[in-house]
Amino acid sequence: MGAVRIYEVSLRDGLQNEAGVVSTEHKAELARRLVDAGFKDVEFGSFVSPRYVPQMADTDELFQLLPKDRGVRWWALVPNSRGLDRSLDAGVSHIATFMSASETHNLKNVNRTVRESLAGLRKVIATARAEENRVRSYISTVYGCPYEGDVDPQKTVDLALALLDAGADEIALGDTTGVGTPLQVQDVIGRLVDAGVPLDRIACHFHDTQGTAVANAFAAWQAGIRQFDGSLGGIGGCPYAPGATGNAATEDLLHTFAAMGEDTGIDLDATCEAGVFIEEVLGKRLPGRFLQFYKADCERRGCLVPGEDAAKSSRTA
């Protein structure tokens, strides 16, 4: 097992769920801070319809501003072939697709049945691979659905095998509403492994809605998973999943893995400073526990939180 890989989603999953639209300049500044902190996998935007998700309307423009010479894999979310065309036109080479293990959630989220989504994504993935893109495929509501309740783990296994067969490089298991619990996480991972899915092609995307994000990440780590999604300060949620708030906070994951001796290659202080920056840009306190601890600790020691000044100067610039 290699080192832990953190896949940062605040620029997409986080900002997409904010009521306001963050400026392209602020997004680019946040991206630069993530690069400087050592992140190698960043989901920076989404090629969904700007009519439905105006927060992501500048994804093409933002991509042009991102540093391409720092060894960062810049991932964009692509909903369908139209989104893939835009992504390829922009020059993006890492895409993420999404669909749900729950029929009702999938219908509410993308207005397609699971079968229709899979058929559409097979084409998207094949085209993306032919264009030498890397493909990550999210499966949502793996541990439960806000509409249907329990989701049969076999549905996740079947979808994961189908998406890998279609050419996906990795599968990201999404706990869309944060209902998953540690033993359930281990059960699903065990079933995937039994079905022949290699551990290094599975990533985990947790939500802290019910306070289980870090416990779930630890359970997944014990089961052999080394790829985890995090979002600065726990920003984000899902607009089509009632009650879903708070992605797993990147700072909480980094702190926990560092304490376990796991090397992520990412600087925790610099990550917290990026978290402070985005709090300043959004003008609100984020839920991430370690981020709030970091700020209180800085204040107690009388030191300046470096992100704060930079956010102010960048805001007035």
Cα–Cα distance between 107 and 89 in angstroms, integer? 28
Cα–Cα distance between 165 and 121 in angstroms, integer? 11
Cβ-contact 206, 175 below 8 angstroms:
yes
Of 236, 205, 7, which is closest to residue 101 (Cα–Cα)?
205
Residues 241-280 that bind Mg ion (CB under 5 A): 247
Binding residues for Mg ion, rule CB under 5 A, total 2
Nearer to Mg ion, 247 or 271 (CB): 247
User: Which residues have a Cβ under 8 Å from the Cβ of 117 and sit 6 or more positions away?
Assistant: 99, 100, 106, 110
Q: How far is the CB of 175 from Mg ion (least distance, A)?
A: 8
170 contributes a contact to Mg ion by CB under 5 A: no
Can you spell out the DSSP letters for 209-257?
TTS-HHHHHHHHHHTT--EEEEBGGG--B-TTSTT-B-BPBHHHHHHHH
Nearer to Mg ion, 137 or 247 (CB): 247
Nearer to Mg ion, 247 or 264 (CB): 247
Q: Which amino acid is at 261?
A: G
Cα Rg, the chain, nearest whole Å: 18
Q: Which of 204, 238, 272, 298 is catalytic?
A: 238
> How many C-beta atoms surround the C-beta of residue 30 within 10 A?
26
Q: How far is the CB of 207 from Mg ion (least distance, A)?
A: 6
Whether 238 is a known active-site residue: answer yes
Q: Which stretch binds Mg ion (CB under 5 A): 10-18, 262-270, 287-295, 301-309?
A: 10-18
> What x/- string results for residues 73 through 92 when contact with Mg ion is judged by CB under 5 A?
--------------------
Q: Where are the alpha helices (DSSP H) in 38-169?
A: 59-65, 81-90, 103-110, 114-130, 153-166
Q: How far is the CB of 248 from Mg ion (least distance, A)?
A: 8
Q: How far is the CB of 105 from Mg ion (least distance, A)?
A: 13
58 contributes a contact to Mg ion by CB under 5 A: no
Nearer to Mg ion, 83 or 230 (CB): 230
Residues 179-218 that bind Mg ion (CB under 5 A): none
Question: What CA dihedral angle connects 29, 140, 286 and 215, to 10 degrees?
Answer: -120
Q: How far is the CB of 17 from Mg ion (least distance, A)?
A: 8
13 contributes a contact to Mg ion by CB under 5 A: yes
Nearer to Mg ion, 110 or 298 (CB): 110
Active-site positions read 238
Q: Site residues (CB under 5 A) for Mg ion?
A: 13, 247
